[in-house]
Amino acid sequence: MRNILFVPGNSTKMLTNANFLGSDAVVIDLEDAVAPNEKDAARLLVRNAIRALHYQVKLGVRINALDTCYWQQDLKEILPLAPDFIMLPKTADVDSIHVLEQEVAKLEKQYGMEKEVKFIALLETAKGVENAYAIARASKRVEALFLGAEDLTANLCAVRTKESSEILYSRCRLVSAARAAGIDVYDTPFTDVEDICGLEKDARLARQLGFTGKASINPCHIEGINRAFSPSEEEIAYSREVLEIIEKAEREGHGAVSLRGKMIDAPIMARAKYILKLAGI
């Protein structure tokens, strides 16, 4: 998934249009986007939308945090519809994953579900960032980590900036933890809706750091994010060339090979395979 679009759970228009906006995945938000007095109505709206609209993109639901009185009812309404994943906000430690896993497993059994719903852990506190690897390894249901920079910077007492130097450590920490655990990792949204150039710069940096993809809170950011996380024609051509020269060397019984004056070793080969995988080749 290059892009994950957040859709407010109380917006009929956004829920209806989410299938057609170009994102690879949609997260329907029952947490921050929905006021406390609208939680019940939003659950019903989301439940009916999922039933009626048959989303073609990968579908997740962000439930309310475990320290609220809403999350269990969120699961009861949404889980029978078998979303691809549940996003858990404020994930701070392994216990958070275990509590969610126990409740989800109980409901899956109760509803006779064959599909095992996956988790994306949203890390948005200093404690969560420091526990990133343990969280990534807490359950086979955890398929990705996700960085939430707005709450994180508030928790860190940091100044939030467009340049995002204040979250560089947290970004690198999550990428390293996720890759070590063999799962995906997604970057925080860029919150200035009007600054498309800034969005693309931020998305390119996220890809350079190793993120799988990036979230967005506005459909106008989807195209820029998808472009940043899609290999260029030049990257694809070079990757093909790398694999072709390696195959040729193997056929001819050669050991070391070079391309354009540079030795081709295992990391370069692995990167070439990854680029072609991203390109769907």
**For 105-130, what is each residue's pLDDT tens digit?**
999 999 999 999 999 999 999 999 99
Cα separation of 279 and 46, whole Å? 33
Cα separation of 13 and 67, whole Å? 30
Q: What is the DSSP annotation of 56-108?
A: -SEEEEE---TTSSSHHHHHHHHGGG--SEEEETT--SHHHHHHHHHHHHHHH
- Residues 209, 245, single domain; the answer is no
**For 155-202, what is each residue's pLDDT tens digit?**
999 999 999 999 999 999 999 999 999 999 999 999 999 999 999 999
- Residues 214, 252, single domain; the answer is no
Phi-psi region of 190 (alpha: psi -120 to 50; beta: other; left: phi over 0): beta
pLDDT at 262: 80
What the block records as the tokens of 225 is 């994010």
pLDDT tops 80 at residue 249? no
CA 246 to chain centre: 33
Last residue of a domain, one of 192, 213, 228: 228
Cα separation of 133 and 251, whole Å? 41
pLDDT at 245: 83
pLDDT at 110: 96
- Residues 58, 85, single domain; the answer is yes
What mean pLDDT is reported for the chain?
94
Q: Which domain holds residue 10?
A: 3-228
pLDDT at 255: 67
- The average pLDDT across 5-13 equals 96
At residue 201, φ and ψ (nearest 5 deg) are: -60, -45
**For 193-227, what is each residue's pLDDT tens digit?**
999 999 999 999 999 999 999 999 999 999 999 99
pLDDT band at 232 (very low <50, low <70, confident <90, very high): confident
For residues 121 and 185, the answer to whether their CB atoms sit within 8 Å is: no
Last residue of a domain, one of 188, 207, 228: 228
- Residues 136, 272, single domain; the answer is no
Could you give the number of structural domains in the chain?
2
pLDDT at 271: 85
pLDDT tops 80 at residue 254? no
- The average pLDDT across 61-88 equals 97
For residues 121 and 146, the answer to whether their CB atoms sit within 8 Å is: yes
- Residues 209, 264, single domain; the answer is no
- Residues 248, 123, single domain; the answer is no
- Residues 29, 153, single domain; the answer is yes
What the block records as the tokens of 232 is 């260029």
For residues 91 and 128, the answer to whether their CB atoms sit within 8 Å is: yes
- Residues 267, 202, single domain; the answer is no
- The average pLDDT across 249-274 equals 80
Return the minimum-mean-pLDDT range out of 82-96, 217-231, 239-253: 239-253
- Residues 86, 205, single domain; the answer is yes
Helices 266-278 and 233-252 cross at an angle (nearest 10°) of 130
Whichever domain contains 86, its CATH number is: 3.20.20.60
**For 40-58, what is each residue's pLDDT tens digit?**
999 999 999 999 999 999 9
Cα separation of 46 and 4, whole Å? 17
Last residue of a domain, one of 204, 228, 252: 228
pLDDT at 182: 97
- Residues 81, 203, single domain; the answer is yes
- Residues 248, 176, single domain; the answer is no
- Residues 134, 224, single domain; the answer is yes
